[in-house]
Amino acid sequence: MPVRATARRLRDSRRADRRFGARLLGAVTVAALAAVPFALLLVLVEGHWQPLRRLDASAALRLHRAALDHPAWTSALRFLSDWVWDPTTLRSAVALLTVWLLWKRAWRLASWAAVTAVGGGLVGLLVKTVVERARPSLEDPVAHAPGFSFPSGHAMTATTSCAVLLLVLLPVVPRAWHAVCWGVAALSVVGVGFTRVALGVHWFSDVVGGWLLGAAVVALTAWAFEAWRSDVGRRRTELGEGLEPELTGTEPERQDA
C-alpha cells in the first residue's frame, strides 16, 4: 500500500507540474501575443506606414462626420468617455478595490492590483512621451484632449482596470453571473476605444496600441502572481475563477500533491 500511495502521489505531482507548466506557457504566450503586435504597431506608427495612416484617417473622418450629424449621440459618447470610462473613474474603482483587499488582509492581491494599475499607467505615459504622436486635427472638432496620442491612455486604462476588477472579484461573484461580468468588461474596453476615435481625439491605431499594451502588462503581472502562488504551495488557478479563489473564505489553501 505505501508503494502504491507513493506512486500515485508521484503521478499526481507530475500531472500538476504539467498543468502548471502549461499555464505558465499560456501566460507568457498571451504576453507575447500582446507585446509583439504592439511592437510591430509601434514600428508602423513611427515609420508612417501609408496603409495604416489611410486606415486611421478614414476611420477618423467617417466617425467625425457622424458625430457632427448626430449631436445627441455625440453628447452620449462624451459622457461615457469623460465620466463612465474616464481613467480617473476606473483608477478610483481599482483604488477602492485595493483598499477593500487590504481590509480583507489579502496583502499580495492588493499589491498586484495596485502595481498593475500604477505600472500600466506609467508604461503608457512613458511610451506616449517617447513616441510623441500628434492627435487628430479635424475641422470643427467635437472634443479636445491634452497630451500625445499613442497609445490611448483611455483604452489602456480600461484594459488594465477591467482586468484587475475581473480577476479579483470573480471568486466572490456567483458563477451564474460570470458571463455577465466578462461581457461588461469586454463592452467597456471596446466601448471606450470607440468613443475616443468617434470623438476625434485618437487615431484607431492609438486605441489598438492601448489595448495591446494593457493586455501585455496584465499578462505579465498575473504570471508573477501565479508564480508566487506556486512558491507558497497554493493550488493552480483557472482563468475563470480569478487570481485568488481563497478570497471567498471557503476555498481551502492547500498544496497539490
Question: What are the sequence ranges of the domains in the chain?
Answer: 2-248
pLDDT on residue 96 = 96
pTM of the model: 0.82
Checking if the pLDDT of 198 tops 80, the result is: yes
Q: Report which listed range, 6-10, 20-24, 245-249, is most confident.
A: 245-249
Residue with cell 448626430: 70
| Phi, psi for residue 253 in degrees, rounded to 5 | -90, 105
DSSP 82: I
Instruction: Please report the sign of the dihedral spanned by the C-alpha atoms of residue 117, residue 123, residue 128, residue 129.
Output: positive
Confidence category of residue 251, pLDDT binned at 50, 70, 90: very low
For residue 249, the model assigns a pLDDT of 61
pLDDT tens for each residue of 199-234: 999 999 999 999 999 998 898 888 878 777 666 666
Task: Tell how many helices (H) and how many strands (E) occur in the chain.
Answer: 8, 0
